[in-house]
Amino acid sequence: MSGVIDWEEIKSHYRVKDREFPMLGEDMPTFMGVPHAKKAGDLAGADVVIIGAPYVAGAKGKYAGVDKSEWVLAPKRVRQQSIRYPSGYVQDFDLDIFEHLKVVDFGDADISPEVNANPTAENILKAQAAVEEKVAAVLEAGAIPIVIGQNSPCGSYAIAKPIAERTAGKVGMISLDTHWDAKPIDWLTKDPRIAGSGNWKAKTYEFHDNFSIPNLVEIGERGMLEPKEIVRRFLEQGVHFIPMWKVRTDLGIDGLCEELRHAYEGTDAVYVHFDMDVIGGAGPAQGDILGDLAEPIGMSDYEVIRVAHEIGRRGLTGMSFICIPPGSAVVYRLIVYIIVYLMAGLIQGRQAK
């Protein structure tokens, strides 16, 4: 796609060409050049750990009208774009995140290319388990896992599950999305074990009693996509639903950030999930790069980054990304900003205590 900048061009950039940094592969640096944690023992003392989950749903060559080969590159593309930034200094806050946080890159989960070519239920469960293993190791080390994925369950449920299993009390969730992902069964496999791209949220609440719907802050859905039965069921159970219409009319970004408090009230952990189709056509790139997932009244890049920063200030247990729009360098940079501004918020929140 025309918006993609290849690795050779990135390496020649004036901020990159004279630097050395760890490489996860021939054309994949670590996130922002942080140290590579090759095994669980390397996670000791880490505050934040980056994990890649290169998995794309769909039985054919395309997902949502865009070739799967483009979608699956998101963890690599985000890392490639992240290396443009020579330090962790965020001028907005006069703060260098790497002076306060130990951040490492744990590489990609061991997801076989066969899973993307042949997404049977058994293959998907193996891929999910590979992500769970890395996330569990990070949680056991006392750090925050941030998983750069692309589809469910590997970029969502595989992070929610180990958090739930290690939390004695209630777990809150902050979810940014265009879709509720709460259908009763996975559309791809029709297998009740699979927390797939259309039903992972429903399965999370079905499989884990400590995930609490009154502590779910659901942000960004809009329009005519969802069956009324699904939305009303969540509303009846106490979800804090904030459609984009409400953000644009009543709340604004400051009011939206205040609503995040519901995920923290009476909970012992908070799982954060950013499904990046939430930006729809609001940018920073044209909405059509999302294919069939593009919808009007999307969140802007600033709104998404601001929410991430506020979450950082409040704290979180783990975070994941899916549906990162393929083929746009500036969207991959958006993911870098979200992660960095979240970490800046973590530092500021700790300093404020």
DSSP letters, 205-248, are: HHH-TTEEEEEEEEE---TT-S-HHHHHHHHHTT-EEE-HHHII
Domain residues of the chain, as ranges? 7-352
**Tokens linked to 159:** 């992070």
Q: What is the model's pLDDT at position 111?
A: 96
pLDDT for position 116: 86
pLDDT for 3 equals: 67
Q: What is the DSSP string of 253-304?
A: HHHHHHHGGGGTTTEEEEEEEEEGGGGTTSSSS-GGGGGGG--SSPPPHHHH
Residue with tokens 């050049």: 33
CATH value of 7-352 in 3.40.50.1010, 3.90.1720.10, 3.40.30.10, 3.40.800.10 = 3.40.800.10
Position 230: which residue type? I
Residue 67 is predicted with a pLDDT of 85
d(CA 31, CA 29): 6
Mean pLDDT in each 10-residue stretch from start to end of the chain (353 residues)? 77 91 97 98 98 89 84 96 96 98 98 90 97 98 98 98 98 98 96 97 98 98 97 98 98 98 98 97 87 93 98 98 93 97 98 92
Residue 284: asked if its preceding bond is cis (omega within 30°), the reply is yes
Q: What is the pLDDT of residue 305?
A: 98
- Is the pTM higher than 0.95? yes
Cα–Cα distance, 341 to 69 (Å, whole number): 29
